[in-house]
Amino acid sequence: MFSFNLKEQDEISLWPLPQKFQSSAVAFKLSPASFQIVHAKQSSAGPSCGLLENAFRRYELYRLETFSQLVYEDYYGVNNINKTDISDFPRFAHRGILLDSSRHFLPLKVILANLEAMAMNKFNVFHWHIVDDQSFPYMSRTFPELSQKGAYHPFTHVYTPSDVKMVIEFARMRGIRVIPEFDTPGHTESWGNGQLDLLTPCYSGSSPSGTFGPVNPILNSSYDFMTQFFKEISTVFPDAYIHLGGDEVDFRCWESNPDIQKFMAQQGFGTDYSKLESFYIQRLLDIVAATKKGYMVWQEVFDNGVKLKDDTVVEVWMGNKMEEELQNVTRAGFTTILSAPWYLDYISYGQDWQHYYKVEPLSFPGTDAQKKLVIGGEACLWGEYVDATNLTPRLWPRASAVAERLWSDKSVTDVGNAYNRLVQHRCRMVKRGIPAEPLFVGHCRQEYKGL
Amino acid sequence: MFSFNLKEQDEISLWPLPQKFQSSAVAFKLSPASFQIVHAKQSSAGPSCGLLENAFRRYELYRLETFSQLVYEDYYGVNNINKTDISDFPRFAHRGILLDSSRHFLPLKVILANLEAMAMNKFNVFHWHIVDDQSFPYMSRTFPELSQKGAYHPFTHVYTPSDVKMVIEFARMRGIRVIPEFDTPGHTESWGNGQLDLLTPCYSGSSPSGTFGPVNPILNSSYDFMTQFFKEISTVFPDAYIHLGGDEVDFRCWESNPDIQKFMAQQGFGTDYSKLESFYIQRLLDIVAATKKGYMVWQEVFDNGVKLKDDTVVEVWMGNKMEEELQNVTRAGFTTILSAPWYLDYISYGQDWQHYYKVEPLSFPGTDAQKKLVIGGEACLWGEYVDATNLTPRLWPRASAVAERLWSDKSVTDVGNAYNRLVQHRCRMVKRGIPAEPLFVGHCRQEYKGL
């Protein structure tokens, strides 16, 4: 039995691995009655920092994450901690998880549980892909019909203003930013249910087919709508950034529509519909810039040559030519985040976490200045095959591999060592009520108690 | 909203599809206060049949499974059922699920929940792969050290006699047999911790290496042990069959051991270690036959030419040459069950349930008499990557595809139709608390409430 305890107290079970630490064999016993965390004399934060006070409270005895991971229970159930010096900081500033609440509605409870798991893994950005073609669960005060007609169900499958507030606050208390994504002009089918004339009517021959395509970029009403809509979004979500999407615009509907064709001719776009897409995005970006928010976009917006504000963040998601894209985006001077190698909705048999772990985000050819523009990455769990029933075990601990890649030093690449720590870390998540799936055969001292 | 209701009340949402049914548009309203299920006058069962009485009670208003699936809730929350005539019977008698509680310990709660899901899908055999190399959670009254030293933990990661009783009774109430598997002579590493001299000492050169191989087939003590052990198993598990395993025996350890080499020579086996394997299995089968139980074995036992009792069930699990194997086994006159195409621990991106659904178990070349020997199949969820955190959503509704293949008529092969019904069926499971994962984008009226 003791070998197990020794393993559990081993410093290597920290996750993600701190930048520097020095553990010793000197063990202290922790008494729940007398133990407390206090502010250091030289600390600039104090009891007036509510966020930190709340974090202290939340961790009860095991208060702050790294600290909590140092505590181990011995054979007699006594909590111990070894004398340890740690100096730590993240390698990348942006460490995100993308969840998709449109393909399937994600009940609040699932989102909050995953924010908890994110905090345990030192992720600090929740990229909330909140709406898409399939459903529009965001309840807008300005345009209530968007969710009334675009959600899977207008009452049970929506995020009310207070739900959204709760997510933001729950995240904030854990040091997590919430960046909402409202993807346009594609991926917007569900918007059309509640907003007349927003989408392009597709034609079959000379008459409308009854189906709709991307946002209609030739109507002023589209831009009036976006102006009002993003004015609301910019106040509801406090983060300095909004993700505007811009990916995978299907041109076929635009091509079929005679009014669009006429507009293309007037503008001198020829038959290059990416110019029309850029025309739309350009106006959208101006609208959002006017709200004083920064914006993030998927890589196509950059690829299509849209003029972007200097502080735009370009998200590289396409797996093919990833290094070339990173080179191009950073050469153009744009801040970049990487999600291409970390599409965790793709599953396969075995330990695929190792593939995520082995990625080196800065392996592309480029100058130091270019490398500095890569501020982090995101693990994306798209929702086609994921809902409340399977999201959490599918995401964790696979996303933990990404967490360490984005937090720890570049030199931390030993997969065997990572395996041993991650096995412990996943049991720690299980112990705290997160149904993180196993890496391989074995057991946790405390198995998952839910179903 | 009404289109949704019409869809839900559609007869095609039954799963697995009954052999014959005739639905009508005549709808009856069900009143919880006055509704009851009674025995038909001509029924041979009566109130004295406790099992049926309990099934009535368990289903409360929605009492028997098919019946319960006919009940639909209308827009106003009223329960309706349409006049329907059903005549039904299973195509195959053996419809099993294999769960593996050795690679990971499965808490009782998970096993019971899956028995519930099995009943909803008309599975009738729980193949309990209870022990293996990695751990021995079965608490034996005769040999308590097997779990004391072979389980992941002697108190928290074991199945006590009362746990086992509960599983068997919970299953019985739902019309499910429990067939335990105690796999020998391979897959037995964990047995060796608590049973001295049971396993073969492996040699490195001329001295023991300290590691152990399969059950030692040359010692009388091995057979004495098996006699006592299976005497216990035959009383603890009431089913007429025990699964004896016999798969994947690695000969390298036997080959390294000088005592085994000597024995081989004495017996005139040459260097054909499959003869030694057969020697062991033959004696084991005789031991188990003396307990008056029938036995199931994995296909290798047949392939190696072991003399089997006539009522032996051979389980075909190897994906390569599956049809050839079915031909051979049935030509030899043995009853057969098929699991090869249904290893659900293998996962991939997308709707792999369709592959399981499209399997036709009787597609192999053979006579009618041979076909009749295939009495069913099993969906296997091996435990290398599965524990309480992810088992249920990984198994359901993927196993439901196997359920319909084994229950419904051979002609029921329309994947589109199956998709529509299975979407409803999976929501029905979710509604009853089973976290069955989604097939694709969409929603359930009542989403999963757990985590």
Question: Which positions in chain A touch B438 (Cβ < 8 Å)?
Answer: 104, 385-387, 389-390
Chain B CB within 8 Å of residue A152 CB: yes
Segment A4-20 shows an average pLDDT of: 63
DSSP alpha helices (H): ranges in B2-98? 2-9, 50-58, 65-70
Count of CB atoms situated within 10 Å of the CB of B79: 16
pLDDT score recorded for residue A7 = 40
Task: Indicate if the pLDDT at residue A217 is higher than 80.
Answer: yes
Of B109, B157, B393, the CB nearest to A389: B393
Average pLDDT over residues A419-438: 96
Q: Which of A303-312, B59-68, B147-156, B235-244 has the lowest mean pLDDT?
A: B59-68
Cβ burial, residue B408 (10 Å; 0-12/13-18/19+): buried
Minimal C-alpha gap between B62 and chain A (Å):
23
pLDDT of residue A3: 30
Between A262-271, A389-398, B58-67, B427-436, the lowest mean confidence (pLDDT) is in B58-67
Give all strands (DSSP E) within B153-246, no chain letters: 177-181, 199-204, 207-215, 241-243
pTM: 0.92
What residues contact residue A48 under an 8 Å CB cut-off, 6+ apart? none
**Which chain B residues are closer than 8 Å to A447 by Cβ?**
105, 107, 156-157, 387-388
Closest Cβ opposite residue B157 in set A157, A389, A443: A443
Alpha helices, H only, A98-213: 108-120, 145-150, 161-173, 189-194
Tokens of B346: 């293998």
Q: A447 and B387: CB-CB below 8 Å?
A: yes
The neighbouring-strand residues paired with B315 are: B298, B337
Q: Residue A347 is nearest to which of B347, B387, B388, comparing CB atoms?
A: B347
B269 touches chain A (CB under 8 A): no
Predicted local distance difference test score (pLDDT) of residue B62: 38
B 337-356: CB under 8 A from A: 345-350
Residue of B nearest to A442 (CA): B104
Determine, for residues B451 and A384 on separate chains, whether the beta-carbon distance falls below 8 Å.
Answer: no
Strand, helix or coil for residue B28:
strand
3-state SS class at A64: coil
Residues in chain B closer than 8 A to A437 (CB atoms)? 385-387, 389-390
- What percentage of residues in chain B have a pLDDT greater than 70? 93
Task: Report, in angstroms and rounded to the nearest whole number, the Rg of chain B calculated over CA atoms.
Answer: 24
Give dist(CA A180, CA B361) in Å, integer. 49
Q: Mean pLDDT across the stretch A102-124?
A: 97
Count Cα atoms within 13 angstroms, Cβ side, for B259: 11
Q: For B47-67, what is each residue's pLDDT tens digit?
A: 677 777 776 665 548 346 777
> Which residues of B are known to be catalytic?
248
Contacts of A103 in chain B (CB under 8 A): 441
In chain B, what residues touch A393 (CB-CB under 8 Å)?
389-390, 393
CA angle B33, B34, B40 (to 5 degrees): 140
The mean pLDDT of A324-351, rounded to a whole number, is: 98
Distance between CA atoms of residues A251 and A269, nearest Å: 14
Check residue B267 and give its pLDDT. 97
Type of residue numbered A41: K
